Amino acid sequence: MASSETTEPRSIAIIGPYLAGKTTLLENILYVTGAISRKGKIAESNTVGDSSQEARDRQMGVELNLAKAEYLGDTLFFLDCPGSVELAQESFDALTGVDAAVIVAEADVSKSVSLTPLFRFLEAHNIPRIIFVNKLDKGAENLDAFLESLQGVSIPPVVLRHIPIRDGEELTGYVDLASGRAYAYKEEEASETIALPSEIEDEQGTARYDMLEKLADFDDDLMEKLLEDEEPGPDQVYSDLTQSFRDGEIVPVLLGAAEHEHGVRRLLKFLRHEVPAPSQAAARVELGDEEGPVVQVLKTFQTPTFGKLSIARIWRGTVEDGVSFNGERASGLFHMQGQATSKISKATAGEVIAIGRLDEAKTGVTLSTGKETDQLESAPVAFPVYALTIRPKNREDEVKLSGALAKILDEDRSLTVEHSQETNQTILRGQGEIHLRIAVERMKNRYKLELETGQPEIPYKESIRKSISQHARFKRQSGGHGQFGDVEVDIKPLPRGSGFSFDNSIVGGSVPKQYIPAVEAGVLEFLVKGPLGFPVVDLAVSLTDGSYHDVDSSEMAFKTAGRMAMSEGMPKCGPVLLEPILEVRIAVPSEHTARVNALVSGRRGQILGFEAREGWMGWDEVSAHMPHIEVHDLIVELRSLSAGAGNYVWKFDHLQELTGRLADDVVETRKAALENA
């Protein structure tokens, strides 16, 4: 064992479902290791993590928390990630730069499936991962069912390293299955060794055999021993456990109750002994072993004191104060303890540090002290599934808004902003209502910027069903120079998706050539807002005839005539509302597929098909066409019917005629809005 241990610094992500106790675990790690002398509590808003205003207001993790702990001579960096599914980008970005991940979860079967995206990511990147089952001070009776449900989520086997010793519902200690030793938890101190309680001897034997069997799949010698009923030596068991964890072949499970420090020291010992050296992570991401430091940005903070701070994993080499990355000089290097920073003069591979003022560095990028470096893989950016319009309460804050947005977007890759030409609205997109509300609160708390938010308008269009011919004459003779334009146009519908076309069949110069573009311009001007109040598409207009006046005709006059022909003719063409239809692909655990189908149909959707989701056992992907308006809050219902697990991607597909009550309502609302504008 000793030979495989390392004293190099290592970085560990703490991830898992919402409110599982990640930040509490971090707080207790810091307390147990002496990094803090007083233990905070989430309810008292005094933990090292979650110290931002938004986190305290909501009593939830809203962004990455970083902290460093020294334990028995080892330095461990922790990256405590928020658990809300809407903030998952933080976890994925952090995970790209760690040596191992601790998945903190309550023994709650209903939450297992929501861990699927995290497991798939960890598996795809082969990041060593361990499960810490938390809050076992209550509800320990659900442990077995929970572990079984996790085995349906994790592809590698989930291997229990401890079994619980209980007193009624309460967890009072554990038996370590590798050593066979029993321990009783003590409040605020290390557990004490006790005699193996006789009533769990059998359970201990079965669980240990189960653990060994899983390990034997990766060790032929162990397999043989088990077949011959031979007891493997402790060295072999420990070394198999360590190796299989490091290689991602098994997912060990430890138990505890972070708030009571139960299992915290045990977890720390595990991390200290079993998390591989930083060089293994570097090999895993296929970093070359050339000279020179390489770092990767895992998170960006905008701070009032230091400006921009790039949280970065050091993949290779040593970085020193005064270093430049990709030609930009860092203003300083720091270790972080929650929001507190302490300046350092250098840092080495395995550490996660904050680097000051790299204005160009974006989250996810790889930086080197040379000119350029190969880019290590970064996490994919989450697809936006929810949108709100934003507008400063105070009109004069427009400029302030663009500055604040730039900073907020720099911090969070899963937020995007867009100005819609179609509806003239500024649209903030992200992962759900909470995600966007947090962004809005940040702008208020940090930049004193108050915003109004709303539901984005749907970009309806309109078209026509009938062809007509229309004559229009614009004539004004009020002394001096008059105006004269006279046109005859054919208006006819085109198939969906054709857009707009204009041509002319003028013979003999009844409308002189130079005025024809003006007629088209007049037509187009009208089409911006058709008889129903929306932009008109899918029609052809042709100029068939007209007349002119030698003196009074002008481009202006023909443009006006063109617009008049449309405004008189279009209402007679059978205007029809067109509704945008999106193609959505909904990913969901198969047990919820039937409910998703019902959800889609209930929202006027049309199922196109469904298939097993590739690489995600037990998941389906449902494809459907759905009206844009029905997708606005689809994510809310989808998450609520799938324990937070469901997700979807979308793209615009086509426009579709909408008639009847729904169409009347849309047109009426539009009319009222135009009148008030």
Ligand X SMILES: Nc1nc2c(ncn2[C@@H]2O[C@H](COP(=O)(O)OP(=O)(O)OP(=O)(O)O)[C@@H](O)[C@H]2O)c(=O)[nH]1
Contacts with ligand X by CB under 6 A lie at 18-24, 42-43, 60-61, 82-84, 134-135, 137-138, 257-260
541 binds, among ligand X, Mg ion, none (CB under 5 to 8 A by kind): none
Of the pair 33, 84, the CB lying nearest Mg ion is at 84
Binds Mg ion by CB under 5 A, chosen from 11, 15, 23, 442: 23
Interacting stretch for Mg ion, rule CB under 5 A, among 16-24, 270-278, 529-537, 665-673? 16-24
Helix (H) or strand (E) holding 298: strand 294-303
Structure tokens at 520: 């088209």
Of the pair 24, 96, the CB lying nearest ligand X is at 24
Q: Which DSSP string corresponds to 159-189? A: EE-EEEEEETTEEEEEEETTT--EEEEETTE
Give the separation between CA 613 and CA 384, rounded to whole angstroms.
20
**Residue 674 CB, nearest distance to ligand X (Å)?**
44
Of the pair 95, 527, the CB lying nearest ligand X is at 95
Interacting stretch for Mg ion, rule CB under 5 A, among 20-28, 346-354, 472-480, 520-528? 20-28
**Residue 594 CB, nearest distance to Mg ion (Å)?**
34
259 binds, among ligand X, Mg ion, none (CB under 5 to 8 A by kind): ligand X
Question: If binding is defined by CB under 5 A, does position 299 make contact with Mg ion?
Answer: no
Q: Which DSSP string corresponds to 527-592? A: HTS-TTSS-B-SEEEEEEEEE--TTTB-HHHHHHHHHHHHHHHGGGG-EEEEEEEEEEEEEEEGGG
Per rule CB under 5 A, count of chain residues that contact Mg ion: 3
Question: If binding is defined by CB under 5 A, does position 75 make contact with Mg ion?
Answer: no
**Residue 54 CB, nearest distance to ligand X (Å)?**
11
Distances from the Cα of 558 to the Cα of 470, 491, 535, 643, angstroms: 14, 17, 22, 62
* Radius of gyration for the alpha carbons in the chain, expressed in angstroms and rounded: 32
Structure tokens at 186: 């003590």
Which residues, 6 or more positions from 393, have their beta carbon under 8 angstroms from its beta carbon? 450, 451, 452
Give the separation between CA 558 and CA 522, rounded to whole angstroms.
8
Of the pair 42, 511, the CB lying nearest ligand X is at 42
134 binds, among Mg ion, ligand X, none (CB under 5 to 8 A by kind): ligand X
**Residue 407 CB, nearest distance to ligand X (Å)?**
23
Indicate the Cα dihedral angle 644, 645, 651, 656, nearest 10°: -70
415 binds, among Mg ion, ligand X, none (CB under 5 to 8 A by kind): none
Question: If binding is defined by CB under 5 A, does position 61 make contact with Mg ion?
Answer: yes
Crossing angle of the two packed helices 201-216 and 234-246, in degrees rounded to 10: 60
Give the separation between CA 544 and CA 563, rounded to whole angstroms.
15
**Residue 25 CB, nearest distance to Mg ion (Å)?**
9
Site for Mg ion in 169-228 (CB under 5 A): none
Of the pair 61, 456, the CB lying nearest ligand X is at 61
Phi-psi region of 478 (alpha: psi -120 to 50; beta: other; left: phi over 0): beta
**Residue 587 CB, nearest distance to ligand X (Å)?**
22
Binds Mg ion by CB under 5 A, chosen from 10, 22, 246, 442: 22
Distances from the Cα of 130 to the Cα of 33, 158, 215, 280, angstroms: 20, 9, 15, 17
**Residue 644 CB, nearest distance to ligand X (Å)?**
12
Question: If binding is defined by CB under 5 A, does position 435 make contact with Mg ion?
Answer: no
Give the separation between CA 247 and CA 123, rounded to whole angstroms.
10
Of the pair 11, 28, the CB lying nearest ligand X is at 28
257 binds, among ligand X, Mg ion, none (CB under 5 to 8 A by kind): ligand X
Structure tokens at 283: 């090999």
24 binds, among ligand X, Mg ion, none (CB under 5 to 8 A by kind): ligand X
Of the pair 23, 114, the CB lying nearest Mg ion is at 23
Q: What is the three-class DSSP state of 97?
A: coil
Of the pair 102, 367, the CB lying nearest ligand X is at 102
**Residue 82 CB, nearest distance to ligand X (Å)?**
5
Give the separation between CA 165 and CA 123, rounded to whole angstroms.
31
**Cβ atoms of 483 and 475 closer than 8 Å:** yes
Interacting stretch for Mg ion, rule CB under 5 A, among 5-13, 15-23, 523-531, 632-640? 15-23
Residue with the CB atom nearest Mg ion in the bound state:
61
21 binds, among Mg ion, ligand X, none (CB under 5 to 8 A by kind): ligand X
**Residue 350 CB, nearest distance to Mg ion (Å)?**
23
Give the separation between CA 240 and CA 233, rounded to whole angstroms.
11
Interacting stretch for Mg ion, rule CB under 5 A, among 19-27, 459-467, 588-596, 664-672? 19-27
Residue showing tokens 């311009």: 521
**Residue 90 CB, nearest distance to Mg ion (Å)?**
10
Nearest to 292 by CA among 369, 373, 374: 369
**Residue 45 CB, nearest distance to Mg ion (Å)?**
12
Question: If binding is defined by CB under 5 A, does position 335 make contact with Mg ion?
Answer: no
Helix (H) or strand (E) holding 319: strand 318-320
Of the pair 40, 392, the CB lying nearest ligand X is at 40
Give the separation between CA 40 and CA 38, rounded to whole angstroms.
6
**Residue 149 CB, nearest distance to Mg ion (Å)?**
23
Q: By CB under 5 A, name the binding residues for Mg ion.
A: 22-23, 61
